[in-house]
Amino acid sequence: MDNRDEVKAFLSSRRAKITPEQAGLTSYARNRRVPGLRRSEVADLAGVSVEYYAQLERGNLAGVSDSVLDALARALRLDEAERTHLTDLARVAGPAARPRRKTPAPHIRPSVARVLELMTEVPAFVGNGRGDVLAANPLAQALYAPMFDDPHRPANHARFAFLNPRARDFWRDWDRIAGDTVAMMRTEAGRDPYDRALTDLVGELSTHSEAFRTRWASHDVRLHRTGVKQFHHPVIGDLDLNFETMQLTADPGLAMTLLSAPAGSADDDALRVLASWAATRRSDVRTAPPRPQ
Is the Cβ–Cβ distance between 216 and 178 less than 8 Å? no
Residue 212 near residue 182 (C-beta atoms within 8 A): yes
Average pLDDT estimate for 116-124: 94
First to last CA, the chain: 46
Gap between the Cα atoms of 230 and 244, Å rounded: 14
Report d(CA 55, CA 215) in Å as an integer. 26
- The domains found in the chain, sorted by start residue, are 3-92 (1.10.260.40), 110-287 (3.30.450.180)
Of the candidates 151, 80, 86, 141, the residue with the CA atom closest to the CA atom of residue 279: 141
List the single range of 81-90, 103-112, 154-163, 167-176 with lowest mean pLDDT: 103-112
> 16: how many CB neighbours lie within 10 A of its CB?
12
Q: What is the pTM of this model?
A: 0.86
How many C-beta neighbours within 10 Å does residue 31 have? Answer: 4
The pLDDT of residue 288: 40
Which band of pLDDT confidence, cut at 50, 70 and 90, is reported for residue 287?
A: very low
Q: What is the pLDDT of residue 186?
A: 95
Query: What does the pLDDT look like over 36-66, one tens digit per residue?
Result: 899 999 999 999 999 999 999 999 998 899 9
Q: What is the mean pLDDT of residues 214-223?
A: 94
φ/ψ of residue 239, rounded to 5:
-155, 145
Q: How far apart are CA 221 and CA 183, in angstroms?
A: 4
Mean residue pLDDT of the chain comes to 89
